[in-house]
Structure 1
């Protein structure tokens, strides 16, 4: 079934509280919902939400690229359109825009095939489908900055069944943060662990000191500890600790082949927006897993549409780790109902495709439509 129409809905979703990290803060998420319609009457949805503070892809640039890409796809099949958008990403490319278009195309393709988007991702890898797919995925509680964390939020997350609690570090002195972490750890039931993200706040000596001081705490992962990481520095840190060191933004500093060969850390954080699509993100995860790296899919507080897509990616990876997708509660408004989270697990919809539907009040503006006949 070929694509007959494209439409967009711009949005600005305020957060309930500012999202504070060592790299900066933001109080709202700006982006666009894309809707693609096909000849059968089906609609596929995509979320284009450029990463906050990303100078290489401003919201204005992402929006213009999203519209340009979507207009080119009218009259094409979803399969041909997918090949088109991933053919030649180059200088000035807009990964959030490409993700939004790809998401809507995969939604249409999965609906036509009568299976989930996660199953379509698996089918994209030779020998990767069919296999039984889980219908839910473990997620960590996203508690925000340690500096602003109240004890009752820790207790509430534990009562809600989360086994991993994620905290942002790097906005206070290391000594103060270590003291606060010890107080938080004292609140945790047996078996609950902490996942920490320093957002590149420290030099090597500070990171080593932190790991040594916190060696007895129930920490399962430390993400982006170094301000200017090198492969040898990351390898040195990982050798010094039992917990998983993870990299996210800094992975772009290294050649992918070199990174896979060196395996300087245990985990790679994967954001579909940074990868420019679910298919490239899944391909990267498969390569990383083959090289012996663990993968965690995380959100940057995307709308319900983007969270739904990232959840399908996490289910397709199926590595039993907790993924960073429980961020919808941070939004004071959303584009549609987010996936439900029960006892620390995100539940995928049972419908074919992405499983996302926008709220009734969401209004889409036409971008392009195929002429009748």
Structure 2
């Protein structure tokens, strides 16, 4: 077997929203389709991948470095020893050939996009859902039958008042979520506390609400927010400071007894290990949000799980950023703590298979080979349409 073709495109997920650091008015994602010579139901198996929101499309890196390496590789450099499927670890090594260690920036996004597409193809070729493939190949043989999910929203945008924020959170509860998340740090401390208290009136207590500062705060501000929020007993206090400022995170842990969450902007197992070693993270209450698609893909994510296990953290401490179906499969197959969800933004890349509802804060998975993209009509339609156009004309605006 072999890879016949790798297609790349760019899609827009622009939205008039902002967090404490950036707006999403020009946000894009890369989409990759890996076409194999394996035939299922009369058609070639195609694996699809895309990157999570918050990082822009990686078109230059994909086309200048990583895709040419795969296209130039010999077929046996990309398949397993049995010759009946692609080999994720070989493919990852080919993509990362001639790359120096360190420098975990946007190249981790480019590799992660392709990695997602390969995992989709591998599990389709195997004829099983990815979560089952992961459970049997890398886990304990049994996948979780449902996954905890929380609804991420509460963004700032022009003209949005507290009543609109409350209405948004009510919609999430009505959809079946038991925990919601909102942004902080894009307004004054007093205004954000008012916004938090407004949402608490709707959700029924702090255990149902997480807050996210998106790395906006210095230590003094992070501690000031911590002192103001202690009384709420929130689900978590997310990403108070710069993601690489482990000392700030460690000092904040001394001031804030509640649960904290961070890690979505760390892109390697080395960075993850440094966070849990030096960032004051506590295995009994804190959450790790590493997003495999932004951090070199699932091949590297499994190294990350090993690295944090060595420091006393469980896979159950992990609730990945991104809100996509790959992380949902990983959460079920490798027994993570849950997954993020974006019910109202970044469509159609977030969300779950058609017809699968959130119930009591948990969601099931489709019984279909691969990641399950084909079970999400609007997403698979978009990915097929933009990756089947002519090269050079495959950008959606």
- Pairwise TM-score range, normalised by the shorter structure: 0.7 to 0.9
Give the match for residue 371 of structure 2. Answer: 354
Q: Is the 8 A contact 1:48 1:62 kept in 2?
A: no
Give the match for residue 277 of structure 2. Answer: 261
Secondary structure in structure 1 of the residue aligned to 2:192: helix
Alpha-carbon spacing, 1:164–1:289, altered in 2? closer, same or farther (3 Å): farther
C-alpha distance in structure 2 between counterparts of 1:228 and 1:322, whole Å: 21
Give the match for residue 38 of structure 2. Answer: 39
Shift of 1:216: 1.8
Shift of 1:173: 0.9
Give the match for residue 92 of structure 2. Answer: 86
Alpha-carbon spacing, 1:350–1:109, altered in 2? closer, same or farther (3 Å): same
Shift of 1:256: 4.6
Structure 1 or 2: more strand by fraction: 1
C-alpha distance in structure 2 between counterparts of 1:95 and 1:193, whole Å: 33
C-alpha distance in structure 2 between counterparts of 1:209 and 1:94, whole Å: 36
Deviation larger for 336-345 or 286-295: 336-345
The alignment status of 1:308 with 2:325, answered yes or no, reads: yes
Q: Which has the higher contact order (CA 8 A, sep 6+)?
A: 1
Secondary structure in structure 2 of the residue aligned to 1:362: helix
Residue of structure 2 aligned with 1:318, choices 330, 335, 346: 335
C-alpha distance in structure 1 between counterparts of 2:113 and 2:200, whole Å: 39
The alignment status of 1:117 with 2:130, answered yes or no, reads: yes
C-alpha distance in structure 1 between counterparts of 2:243 and 2:75, whole Å: 47
List per-residue Cα deviations over 1:254-289 (Å, max 9, x = no partner).
755443434611322111122111121133134324
Q: Is the 8 A contact 2:50 2:116 kept in 1?
A: no
Residue of structure 2 aligned with 1:138, choices 148, 156, 162: 148
TM-score, normalisation: structure 2: 0.76
Q: Is the 8 A contact 1:137 1:347 kept in 2?
A: yes
Give the match for residue 206 of structure 1. Answer: 221
Residue of structure 2 aligned with 1:23, choices 21, 35, 40: 21
C-alpha distance in structure 2 between counterparts of 1:279 and 1:165, whole Å: 30
C-alpha distance in structure 2 between counterparts of 1:183 and 1:144, whole Å: 12
List per-residue Cα deviations over 1:205-237 (Å, max 9, x = no partner).
211121111112141111110247643432232
Paired residues, number = 352
Q: Is the 8 A contact 2:215 2:241 kept in 1?
A: yes
TM-score, normalisation: structure 1: 0.81
Secondary structure in structure 1 of the residue aligned to 2:110: helix
Q: Is the 8 A contact 1:51 1:273 kept in 2?
A: no
Map 1:1-373 onto structure 2 (within 5 A).
Answer: 2-8=1-7, 10-15=9-14, 17-27=15-25, 28-41=27-40, 42-49=44-51, 52=54, 58-65=58-65, 67-72=67-72, 75-76=75-76, 78-79=79-80, 81-87=87-93, 88=96, 90-91=99-100, 94-123=107-136, 125=138, 128-130=139-141, 132-145=142-155, 148=160, 150-189=165-204, 193-227=208-242, 230-249=245-264, 251=266, 255-262=271-278, 264-265=280-281, 266-293=286-313, 294-299=317-322, 307-319=324-336, 321-324=337-340, 326-327=341-342, 329-331=344-346, 338=353, 340-343=356-359, 344-357=361-374, 358-359=380-381, 362=385, 364-365=388-389
Secondary structure in structure 2 of the residue aligned to 1:145: coil
C-alpha distance in structure 2 between counterparts of 1:72 and 1:200, whole Å: 40
Shift of 1:355: 2.0
Secondary structure in structure 2 of the residue aligned to 1:5: strand
Deviation larger for 35-44 or 268-277: 35-44
Q: Is the 8 A contact 1:201 1:227 kept in 2?
A: yes
Give the match for residue 394 of structure 2. Answer: none
Cα RMSD over matched residues?
A: 3.3
List per-residue Cα deviations over 1:313-362 (Å, max 9, x = no partner).
1223324x3421x2263145569975644223333210122222222862
Alpha-carbon spacing, 1:336–1:218, altered in 2? closer, same or farther (3 Å): closer
Q: Is the 8 A contact 2:108 2:267 kept in 1?
A: no
Gaps (5+ residues) in structure 2? 81-85, 375-379, 392-397
Gaps (5+ residues) in structure 1? 302-306, 368-373
Secondary structure in structure 1 of the residue aligned to 2:71: helix
Q: Is the 8 A contact 1:13 1:334 kept in 2?
A: no
Shift of 1:78: 4.0
C-alpha distance in structure 2 between counterparts of 1:228 and 1:288, whole Å: 17
